[in-house]
Amino acid sequence: MASLKEMRNRIGSVKATQKITKAMQMVAAAKLRRAQDAAQAARPYANRMSSVIANLAASVSGPGAPVLLSGTGRDHKHLLVVAAADNGLAGGFTSSVVRAARDRVIELQAQGKEVRIVCVGRKTLAPLRRLFPSQIVASFDMSKEKVLTLASVEPVADRILAAFEQGEADVVTLFYSRFKNVVSQIPTGRQLIPAVVTASDGLGAAPDLKGGVYTYEPDEAAILEALLPQNLRIQLLSAMLENKAGFYASQMSAMDNATRNAGDLISALTKQYNRSRQAQITKELIEIISGAEAL
């Protein structure tokens, strides 16, 4: 059994850990508010751009359609962009996104597809490197980006476009964590190339023109040629902002649980310490009384 001094040291160590987890919880809560506001502010722009593209895409088809919209006509080569956290201590935030990407890779490989992976976030690289070491073609560290902007995602977007233009990818899919609320983040896979315009979750819903007709100058195909690469960057930025909000929510929850667990451990250790101390005092009293009686 541990000595009283060792038990006191352990209680002190757990109390110090509890202070750290409590401080991290408060910091994560403060950062979550800003990250949540940024993610929610980016949604209308991303949704509206998807709506415009949906309206344009409805009138563009066939050989004249931009390649980012129509694709290569094949689906043999897949590029998965897996975006998660740059830091840890956030529970299962990163592992949930990695798990969704892993399942997709296994599914594609079972179909005989060629899969490549681009990792975004420091904590994304290590688990995927263990699972698929030969499929990873690039990784990006976003930890130095204090404020996420279009410039932050530009290198990722350029790598994706380069891979598509060089014939390294027929289909590009982004995996990230969609922020729903403080206690719920949803691992999501979104196809970026060929661009998919869909009304699900309010993304890409074509606007109701109420009988009106838009005319474009230049034509729809030329506008899409310029708009689709920008839309790729916007969707990446929106996903990164969603990730950031989800990360702080997960970290706040994880640190709250750690603080509670530390409190429970301190209570249990304190009871054990008091019992051991009382037993030692009782033993010493018995020895003193026994010695006195012997005299």
Provide the CATH number for the domain around residue 164. 3.40.1380.10
Task: Match 């034509």 to its residue by tokens.
Answer: 219
CA-based end-to-end distance of the chain: 33
The DSSP symbol for 114 reads: E
**Cis peptide bond prior to 194, omega within 30° of 0:** yes
In a domain, 228, yes or no: yes
The DSSP symbol for 182 reads: T
Strand partners, 138: 118
Q: What is residue 261's predicted lDDT score, i.e. its pLDDT?
A: 92
Query: What confidence tier does 199 reach under pLDDT thresholds 50, 70, 90?
Result: very low
In a domain, 148, yes or no: yes
Q: What is the mean pLDDT of the chain?
A: 81
CB of 204 closer than 8 Å to CB of 267:
no
In a domain, 12, yes or no: no
Which pair of tokens denotes residue 218? Answer: 């230049």
Q: What is the CA radius of gyration of the chain?
A: 28
Percentage above 90 pLDDT, the chain: 3
Closest Cα to residue 162, out of 187, 143, 138? 138
Distance CA 43, CA 235 (A): 9
Query: What confidence tier does 20 reach under pLDDT thresholds 50, 70, 90?
Result: very high
In a domain, 291, yes or no: no
In a domain, 7, yes or no: no
Asked if residue 202 has pLDDT above 50, the reply is no
Task: Match 């990730």 to its residue by tokens.
Answer: 243
DSSP three-state, residue 198: coil
In a domain, 32, yes or no: yes
pTM: 0.78
Strand partners, 150: none
In a domain, 271, yes or no: no
Structural domain count, the chain? 1
In a domain, 10, yes or no: no
Distance CA 79, CA 71 (A): 13
Distance CA 171, CA 192 (A): 8
Query: What confidence tier does 63 reach under pLDDT thresholds 50, 70, 90?
Result: low
Task: Match 């490989």 to its residue by tokens.
Answer: 109
Q: What stretches of the chain adopt beta strand conformation (E)?
A: 77-83, 114-120, 136-140, 171-181, 184-193
Percentage above 70 pLDDT, the chain: 87
Domain span including residue 250: 23-207+214-254
Considering only residues 183 and 268, tell me which one the structure prediction assigns the higher pLDDT: 268
